[in-house]
Amino acid sequence: MTIAYRADIDGLRALAVLSVIGFHAFPEIFTGGFIGVDIFFVISGYLITGILLTESATQGIGFLAFYARRALRIFPALILVLGACLLTGWYTLLAEEYKQLGKHLAFGAAFVGNFSFWFEAGYFDRLSEAKPLLHLWSLGIEEQFYIVWPFVLWLILKNRRSGERIVIALALLSLIFASLMVFLDRTQAFYSPVTRAWELLAGAFLAFRRQGGACSPCSRMQSFGPVAGLSLALVGGLYIQAVFPFPGLLALVPVISAMLLIGGNQGSWVNQRVLAHPLMVKIGLISYPLYLWHWPLLSFAFILEGGRPTPAIRLMLVAVSFLLAILTYQLLEKPLKRTRRKYVVVIILVTLMTGLLLLGKNVYDRDGLERIRHKRMIVLNETTSEDFIDFEKRGLITNEKCERPFKFPEHDACLTAHRDRPPTAAVIGDSHALHAFWGLAEAFDRQGDNLVVHGRGACVPFIDFQPDGDINRCQPFINETLAFIAANQQISKVVLVFRGRYISEKSSPELVERFKSGLDRTLQKLTSAGKQIYYFLPVVEPGFDPRLCVGSLPMGRKPPLSCDFQREDDDNKSRFLRVTAQSVLAKYPLVQVVDPNAYFCPNGLCSVIRDGHSSFKDDNHLSHFGSLAMGRSLDFSH
């Protein structure tokens, strides 16, 4: 069921989409172009309500047919764009970025993308430009309205209530809530369907008025309205700014603008000569695929360029988005609109959309398919690749067996600096202890000591300490290892090395208490056995794949992160653990606290690359080069 076609509304769609594209491509010029989305909301509310009212007056609201038409209208282009983004991301995005894309794809395919972005950075943040599916937030709000509104409207009509009054009441409640939330929680105000409902209801109100014949072009106001409406849209698009409290009362500008243009005199000069101009109508017809295509193109360009592309590139991408939109409309949307087997097509579309949803979830659940694709994306030369080869593949970890190896879930490691004589010093801890071994071995060798490494991956070297659940099976292996070292009279020096991320401010009081008790009991046991103890502060972590600093990315992509980072930023992540440990270490003045970061972060600036080599093997472990360099900076002679 349809309502009478209006070319000027297609022209209004063109005005809305051009406004949004202008803001996304040239925000320095079209500072308020984002109000185009609000105009879209009013148009959607008007058309959908008009269709439902027309159906109700003749044969009643057919819910199944309504949702089938919505799917046939919305799904085809969206499926194409989502698939294109997933494919493009495969070749261009790093693991964490691809993981995020998978999440956004799943939420977008379920039409709840607005809720996903609600809990992330705000729409106007710079990081938003690196989210190729960010624009699906508005589609989510529209679809949520499409799901709920037919039933609400059916109840209104069934009970013979005054539809206009109910719509006005609901819209006012939504507007009041939006006006409050824009100051209390702007992100929620922007993405919540509740704070946006009044904009769609404004269009619904117009549909009720026109059905009742109250919008016939008879008054001077209706003749003047389109001029005022177009003026408001232009002023808002050029002068409203992202820093303003929007949405809220300020959103009345685009909403009233759209209402005046839709509800005013259809025969006015503005409606007939501007909005209904053939070029505007043609743009309006492709406005939906144009909206879907333009933002991913600009976003992927932002990612590849490491920042906003040049104006020339942005202009070219806008032109490409027009081309893709035309092809999508002509080759996909129009043929499907003419198909006679609509319900078969809808079933296929729903199946494809569900498949994309599950595929996006799979990408997210598998951390951006890091193991499959991530390492192949960064091209290294033979020299730089040496820093990232796994230790066992370099021959640094052999298959030799020993009485008490360092244990990983997948293999054991037996490492002693000099296998021809017994060890006199031991480093014990998690995988960070293993990766620090080579540098520590040289440092102790300078003092005449022979170092051995003990421990287990992801295990803190404390008596009876285990994270909640102990999924890495740290106990009783760590207790047995500490007992073995304490009883070994030949080992006089013990180094405790582990990652600084095991407890934080968010940890339960019980876990923090176990950490303190475990450290206290470990220090007491080792000091009682006459050991000299060295407690290592956590080594700084880059938090990203260091190969980005020396390798080549696909499609000429520039590195997304700086290869130098502030030590203070890293310290903030391990501060709680360090402070907690210090409260226990204060009881043991003979324990030497060692800070390995004096080498990695001179003057507070930590460099991933030193002397042409990466100090890190991955986002938190030392490379062989980094381990040796750290060892050369340490002195255990006192």
Indicate if the pLDDT at residue 469 is higher than 80. Answer: no
Q: pLDDT digits over 193-204, tens only?
A: 999 999 999 999
Band (pLDDT 50/70/90 cuts) for residue 162 is confident
Average pLDDT, the chain: 91
| pLDDT for position 307 | 87
* Domain boundary pick from 370, 400, 422: 370
By mean pLDDT, which of 7-16, 176-185, 192-201, 544-553 is the weakest?
544-553
Residue 188 lies in a domain: yes
Tens of pLDDT along 530-551?
999 999 999 999 988 898 888 8
Give yes or no for residue 390 having a pLDDT over 90: no
* Residues in Cβ contact with 316 at an 8 Å cutoff, skipping those fewer than 6 apart: none
The larger pLDDT score, comparing residue 84 to residue 124, is at 84
* 524-529: average pLDDT: 97
Question: Would residue 638 count as lying in a domain?
Answer: no
Residue 326 lies in a domain: yes
427 phi and psi angles, rounded to 5 deg: -110, 130
Using 50, 70 and 90 to split pLDDT, how confident is the model at 158? confident
Q: Quickly state the pLDDT bin for 217 (edges 50, 70, 90).
A: very low
Mean pLDDT (whole number) for 313-342: 95
pLDDT tier at 339, thresholds 50, 70, 90:
confident
Q: How sure is the predictor about 638, in pLDDT bands with cuts at 50, 70 and 90?
A: low
Q: Residue 537 maps to which CATH number?
A: 3.40.50.1110
Question: Is the pLDDT confidence value at 568 over 80?
Answer: yes
Answer whether residue 1 is part of any domain. Answer: no
So what's the pLDDT on residue 131? 95
For residue 133, what pLDDT is reported? Answer: 97
Residue 77: phi and psi, rounded to 5, are -65, -35
Higher-pLDDT residue of 163 and 587 is 587
Q: Give the Cα-Cα-Cα angle 276, 280, 281 (nearest 5 degrees).
A: 65
Looking at the structure, do residues 466 and 589 belong to the same domain, yes or no? yes
Tokens of 595: 């800070």
Does 411 lie in the same domain as 448? yes
Question: Rounded to whole angstroms, how far apart are CA atoms 67 and 146?
Answer: 8
Residues 599-617 have pLDDT tens digits of 899 989 999 999 889 999 9
Are 521 and 482 in contact by the 8 Å Cβ rule? The answer is: no
Structural domain ending residue among the three candidates 370, 392, 426:
370
Please give the pLDDT value at position 161: 65
CA 502, 504, 507, 511 torsion-angle sign: positive
Domain match, 350 and 470 both: no
pLDDT band (50, 70, 90) for residue 222? low
Domain membership flag for residue 22: yes
315 and 414 in a single domain? The answer is: no
- For residue 319, pLDDT over 50 is answered with yes
Q: Do 225 and 263 sit in the same domain of this protein?
A: yes
573 inside domain: yes
Mean pLDDT on 253-267: 92
Domain endpoint, select from 339, 370, 401:
370
Question: Which phi and psi (to 5°) does residue 64 adopt?
Answer: -60, -45
CB 266, CB 217: distance < 8 Å? yes
Q: Does residue 580 sit in helix, strand or coil? A: helix
* pLDDT score for 205: 94
pLDDT over 90 at 459, yes or no: yes
Q: How many domains does the chain have?
A: 2
Q: According to the model, what pLDDT value does residue 95 have? A: 86
DSSP for 82-140, written as a single string: HHHHHHHHHHH--HHHHHHHHHHHHHHHTT-HHHHHHTSS-TTSGGGGG-TTTTHHHHH
pLDDT of residue 216: 45
Angle at 533 between CA 532 and CA 535, to 5 degrees: 160
Q: Identity (one letter) of the amino acid at 585? A: L
Q: Do both 429 and 319 map to the same domain?
A: no
User: Do 293 and 168 belong together in one domain?
Assistant: yes
236 with 320, same domain: the answer is yes
* 376 within domain boundaries: no
Do both 353 and 416 map to the same domain? no
Residue type, 452: V
Domain that holds residue 498: 382-632
Is there a single domain that holds both residue 277 and residue 317? yes
pLDDT at 387 over 60: yes
Residues 423 and 558 in one domain: yes
393 and 447 assigned to the same domain:
yes
- Is residue 232's pLDDT more than 60? yes
